[in-house]
Amino acid sequence: MTARAFILIEAQVGKSQEVAAALRSMPGVPSVDIITGDFDIIAIVEAPDMASMADIVTGQVQSTPGVKRTITCVAA
pLDDT in tens, 17-45: 999 999 999 999 999 999 999 999 999 99
DSSP for residue 28: T
| Sheet (strand 67-74) strand order | 31-34, 41-47, 3-11, 67-74
What is the rounded distance in angstroms from the CA atom of residue 48 to the CA atom of residue 10? 26
Q: Which CATH class is domain 3-64?
A: alpha beta
Q: How far is CA 47 from the centre of its chain?
A: 13
DSSP for residue 14: T
What is the rounded distance in angstroms from the CA atom of residue 40 to the CA atom of residue 42? 7
pTM of the model: 0.93
pLDDT tier for residue 1 given thresholds of 50, 70 and 90 = confident
